Structure 1
Amino acid sequence: MRYVARNRPFVVRKAASSWPSHKKWNAAYLESVIRSSPVNVAITPHGNADSILHLPDSSALFVKPFETTLPFSIAQSNIRAQGVDDTWNDSTYYLQTQNDNLRGEYATLFKDVPASIPWARIALDQDPDAINFWLGNSASTTALHKDNYENVYVQVLGKKHFVLLPPVEAPCVNEKAVLAATYGNDGPPDSTLHLKKDMVVKIDGAEEGEEGQYVPFATWDPDRPEEHTTPFSRYSQALRVTLEEGDMLYLPALWYHKVGQSCNAEGLCCAVNYWYDLDFSGGFWATSSFVRGVGLIEQQGRRGNA
């Protein structure tokens, strides 16, 4: 509760190792429970869903994945194939719907995890707003971003590698309004399973003749610290942590995080996370917004002077 009150992340090693999910979940079990039920699949050419794509003319796009529905057995088969085959040359598949999917799309698995985390229910004074199931392989990454949720992240299969920046470092991340786009498929209708060579970037709304939509997003990457910087980026003090199977991370609201992952021997990386609503009534939200705003004003001033 002291760490939560301070908005500080922490890891509880092996906190979930006794859960049924950690004793039973593997490729065979997941397929036996979910079978060929249709699931939403995010597909990208390089595992870069919901990320910044820097263009040769120095502009950038915020690119979302191509989404389709496939039988779970086919989706998991493709995830595993890429996870164990270094010569895989097709698209990257990720099961990443963030809409409380463990109580919806993957409800048959929900019995294997607790409905709430006891310490989080006490410290945050609420039950989770959403519980999500994630399944992918080491090709998928999550770009630096923040969420308006308190997050309890539990690693089930494989490993997750987090890079964390506190809200006070908002001026370091070079947030910009970036034109939104989505990966699309220009191949034949039956080419869903082999999209890589056919995937193109489509500006959202362009085909309907609508004006482009802009999304505020961090354009600086702490793993490429010399690129797309602000005057404050060099002062960033990123925290790095790897979650092993059974580990639990408390990721406070508004902390920037970038995530990579490593597969297990079956070519899978699987996790469950619990989202709890942020309390907007105290001083934390106002202070974080003020720091972010100061950084944005300074960046706009420098661009105007240039």
Structure 2
Amino acid sequence: MSDGEAENGEAANARDLFAWLSREVHELVSHVPRVHSPSPIGFLRDHVSSNRPAVITGAFDDWPAMERWNLDYLADAMGDAKVSVNVTPDGRGDALLSTDGWTVSGLGDDEMKPGEVFVQPEEREMTLREFATMLATPTEDPDANAHASRRPAVPYVSRQCGSLLEEFPSLVDDCADEIPFASQALGKRPDAVNLWIGDERSHTTFHRDHYENVYCVVRGVKVFHLLPPCDGRVLGYVDAPAARFEQKLVAGENRFALALERPRRTVAWASATPASLHARARQTNPRDAVVPIVVEVKAGEALYLPAMWYHHVEQRRDESGQPAVAVNYWYDMSFDDRYAYARFAQEAHARFGGENPSECDGL
């Protein structure tokens, strides 16, 4: 029984148990606190064990990266080494996309063009100096009415699965290969350490990861829209065939197209955006409205994002015009009863829905 029972009511009397669960969780985790230099035991007790995000200060003030990292320095440090850059026409990698107006390759002889795909970015290899030049492309398309396939390419250093150590080894001494208090608290080293460099054109759609995430911002600002695991029901998951952006020269013009994966693969992905969730909340009983917790993480700050929390991420440059640069540390989660409870809530909603199941897609 929560302290807010007068508002939330007894679970036994709730018309929609899923909405009741969401209210209970948001009451317990209504904001993201800022904490300074937590001890390992404090971090484990107050955040990991209680499944609560936090913005952490003082975690990496001693990194040389805090003074050194800008695009010129990074490009010089990497020299002629090639790195992976994700490229899209709209800044959205790993997202649902309507195929209206798009050329789609990879269709079988008897296949119709799907109405929607789960699209992944095109991966290109280039030097970091080439990336910096590409990033300097004007952020506004000269022809604002042009179809997305004809818009300028948006580059984003966002390859995961350990990109910092694999592709940027010359930068490791400027930061770290682990976060000491997190490694001590969790009893393990990170599974992957990733480097992110991008501007306001790139953002990441709602998803969740099975990792405890410590996300350290070195330059710029990252804006996270967070939802706890119980709120996946509002994200409007859609099953769509997987595809990838590819850019080709057509009639002397670089254009993006979509290439379906072969063999064909279907991905369930969230269709909701922060804007659509806020719009829906305005049409919902205020008690049942589900809106994300918005957190700004500035240079020198780290976000602890618990495993399985849904997040949508935006970013912006700093005052000097440098792009957002961050290093994140993925620690494998413990697959304990928290994981089982989240899976149960997901499956229960998919089977039984809530008071208005037609408006809340399952996961």
| TM-score, length of structure 2 as denominator length | 0.73
Correspondences of 1:1-306 after superposition (within 5 Å): 1=44, 2-54=46-98, 59-82=115-138, 86=140, 90-187=152-249, 195=254, 198-205=255-262, 210=263, 212-225=264-277, 226=279, 235-264=289-318, 265-280=320-335, 282-298=336-352, 302=358
Give secondary structure in 2 for the equivalent of 1:102. Answer: helix
CA contact (8 A) 1:180 1:213 kept: yes
For these two proteins, the number of residue pairs brought into alignment is 287
Residues in 2 aligned to 1:4 and 1:114: alpha-carbon distance in whole angstroms? 21
Residues in 2 aligned to 1:275 and 1:202: alpha-carbon distance in whole angstroms? 30
Name the amino acid aligned to 2:188: Q
1:4-39 per-position Cα deviation (integer Å, ceiling 9, x unaligned): 101110001353233111111112210110012111
Residues in 1 aligned to 2:179 and 2:308: alpha-carbon distance in whole angstroms? 20
1:140-187 per-position Cα deviation (integer Å, ceiling 9, x unaligned): 010000001110000011110100000011211122322211111231
Residues in 2 aligned to 1:201 and 1:160: alpha-carbon distance in whole angstroms? 29
Residues in 2 aligned to 1:180 and 1:272: alpha-carbon distance in whole angstroms? 28
Where structure 2 has 5 or more consecutive residues not aligned to the other structure, the ranges are 1-43, 101-112, 143-150
CA contact (8 A) 2:141 2:152 kept: no
CA contact (8 A) 1:171 1:291 kept: no
Residues in 2 aligned to 1:20 and 1:188: alpha-carbon distance in whole angstroms? 45
Give secondary structure in 2 for the equivalent of 1:224. Answer: helix
Give secondary structure in 1 for the equivalent of 2:188. Answer: coil
Q: For residue 219 of structure 1, report the CA deviation from its aligned partner.
A: 1.6
Give secondary structure in 2 for the equivalent of 1:187. Answer: strand
Structure with more relative contact order (C-alpha pairs < 8 Å, separation 6 or more): 1
Residues in 2 aligned to 1:54 and 1:251: alpha-carbon distance in whole angstroms? 30
* Identical-residue share of aligned pairs (%): 29
Change (3 A) 1:30 1:232: farther
| TM-score, length of structure 1 as denominator length | 0.86
The structure with more radius of gyration: 2
1:233-254 per-position Cα deviation (integer Å, ceiling 9, x unaligned): 9632411011110101000000
